[in-house]
Structure 1
């Protein structure tokens, strides 16, 4: 399937879902986007009367057969990915936090959970037309290994990879920018151009205007401790998909503060900021996000 067709279908499905929600009528079964019946290895649908098999240790992935489960344990389904044997321990830890994550998602108007308890980020993005393809919001592009492998000497041939990887490659070909080259241009995108959201939903990075300038975190009453307080700090309604779209820069910030401990929210001041130089190597796609740090204070 062509990437642009895929984006259009997801967006149409999301908009149809919004209409169904607003109708006040019982939700048709066709709007249940549960994905727990898809084999983690072969990506085939598991149809009744066949029952899915689930990893007994972490309870995360499901399989259509014991054969697929054994394959996933030893061999990655996508080139350069890791096996389930490597992921299983972390999966178990993440699954223990599932109720906490689901509660956070349900606090957002767009955080709809499917019948199997999963959350479709594609459908959520489709509500706002920010799926990351051509014309769908520049800063909603995805990173990860496969975009990098589409370019340069390390690009793998599409006939040598799994069906799921082929689909992802095809989808990503609809993206406008995968290499950070926009940073070399004399003019960078504005917030409206980069996010492609209604103004009231944009997490503006250019806060040189007083109306957009949040107070220092250290002065914010109660502190910025969760998503609710972050949204209040940035004067954004919870309808804004900022939490969905800013997962990459916020993850980087969390790593810098809590893992590497090289800076913290109390460092510097509005008058005398502290410079932080970050050197990335081999993350061409993620370089597209660097303009998000130009004006705005780092997110919590």
Structure 2
């Protein structure tokens, strides 16, 4: 019997990645040939996850996909359209000198992090991530036979997203980025180095952002800043609840944002200060929710940064320079409960102007159903991103089914009038390519469709009346009943920690 080779640990993978980065550095010297290196992934079968291309699997997957899902026959025509966006994904990556496209079309982001010596877990500032490459500690409910994913989750058990919040000191530009000074998009400016007032320029993609921030494309900043800049994209261009030209020193805007499902973002919270630079004359309150948020707040100790969350105080604040509009950002962590709930705005006495979720997986995590139902009922603007266009389309098609399943119980529990009209009226769920996506195709061996962190935006609920298509009925605008009371009347909506 052959002995099985032991699975490499996260530390083994990190060492191999750093070795690959050194090989790349060597080949980039005069006389070298970087093109001879290949950091692509091992091709794996989409149907069974093992590293072979089995014709039997191709045949089986034609009609029925993994875990009983629709087969390739159902998706074939749409996938052909999705593949047309491959050039867009690759063009976005090619604008950076570190933007290598491997032979399989993927982008080996861990190699770039290792190249800049910022691949690792604790002690790597804003770049800290479990296992060196995996953002999620908790996987969706759907099963997977991919051993590498299971391995990375096991290795990450001791890692705590937001661990630096347990200390008493915030990261600085230098200790957070851990890059050369010239590569850092600073938040603390020397006199005369702050960016131009954002209302005077058009910041619409990575090209315009790098120019506005006056940092070279050599900087790998986009590998982290796709989180706050995607939030900017959702607020400004998808939900249209804010804008760089919207306010003035005489007329400021208060913007309350709920950010749901935060994990790796807890390691880089100061980077969301970019929103204060991008949105002049705006006072932004951001409240983060999620299992990782609840976990880190529960570990708060005296004098730690995160203890402020238990005192209902912002754990981080920032004010942009006066020349940039003197905008403010206040970040709160809601650690009392693991999940966002329709009752929370009432409990917090703070109804959000917008709700966002990045790389959401609306149908992979059942907790999203309550957000979907609540926002449809009271028209709270809500937008998400998904890795793949195909995924976003599946989420979009599932939303009417989620509403239809909930409707009988909510109707019998007392929903009527305006709420019922809002809840049942047909809506559009527009999906779009995100110009602030993380550069580069994810290194997945079984996926060739464009699949990128924060790759595609989807508006779930907007406050623009133009979205309405033939309302079910005009409805009578009677005083709306409290959705939270309706949810409490049905066992279907009993949520963790709130009943």
TM score, norm. by length of structure 2: 0.46
Match of 1:256 in 2: 235
Match of 1:213 in 2: 194
Q: Are 1:44 and 2:81 counterparts?
A: no
Q: What is the aligned counterpart of 2:105 among 85, 109, 117?
A: 117
Distance 1:70 1:125, change over 3 A: farther
Distance 1:92 1:253, change over 3 A: farther
Further displaced range: 2-11 or 85-94: 85-94
| Superposition pairs of residues 63-78 of structure 1, within 5 angstroms | 63-67=53-57, 70=60, 74-75=65-66
Residue-by-residue CA offset, 1:119-147 (whole Å, 9 max, x unaligned)? 22222222112234233343453798841
| Superposition pairs of residues 218-257 of structure 1, within 5 angstroms | 218-220=199-201, 223-257=202-236
Q: 1:169: Cα distance to partner?
A: 0.9
Match of 1:138 in 2: 126
Q: For the Cα contact (< 8 Å) 1:74–1:83, is it kept in 2?
A: yes
Q: 1:8: Cα distance to partner?
A: 2.4
Q: 1:242: Cα distance to partner?
A: 1.1
Residue-by-residue CA offset, 1:13-62 (whole Å, 9 max, x unaligned)? 11211211224334474x2123373333444334xxxxxxxxxxxxxxxx
Match of 2:150 in 1: 166
- SS for the counterpart of 2:256 is coil
Q: 1:10: Cα distance to partner?
A: 0.9
Q: CA RMSD in A?
A: 3.8
Q: Which stretches in structure 1 are left out of the alignment for 5+ residues? A: 47-62
Q: Are 1:8 and 2:15 counterparts?
A: yes
- SS for the counterpart of 1:122 is helix
Q: What is the aligned counterpart of 1:128 among 116, 124, 140?
A: 116
| Mapped partners of 2:257, 2:103: distance in 1 | 42
| Mapped partners of 1:75, 1:257: distance in 2 | 37
Q: 1:110: Cα distance to partner?
A: 0.2
Match of 1:21 in 2: 28
Tell which has more relative contact order, 1 or 2 (C-alpha 8 A, sep 6+): 1
| Mapped partners of 1:197, 1:87: distance in 2 | 43
| Mapped partners of 1:239, 1:202: distance in 2 | 10
Q: For the Cα contact (< 8 Å) 2:47–2:65, is it kept in 1?
A: no
Distance 1:290 1:25, change over 3 A: closer
Which of 1 and 2 has greater Rg? 2
Name the one with the larger strand percent: 2
Residue-by-residue CA offset, 1:195-222 (whole Å, 9 max, x unaligned)? 2211111122x235334411112223xx
| Mapped partners of 1:248, 1:22: distance in 2 | 33
Match of 1:193 in 2: 175
Distance 1:19 1:83, change over 3 A: farther
TM score, norm. by length of structure 1: 0.72
Distance 1:121 1:256, change over 3 A: same
Distance 1:162 1:273, change over 3 A: same
Q: Are 1:101 and 2:97 counterparts?
A: no
Match of 2:185 in 1: 203
Q: Which stretches in structure 2 are left out of the alignment for 5+ residues? A: 1-7, 280-435, 437-499
Q: For the Cα contact (< 8 Å) 1:139–1:288, is it kept in 2?
A: yes
Match of 2:457 in 1: none
Q: What is the aligned counterpart of 1:293 among 259, 272, 290?
A: 272
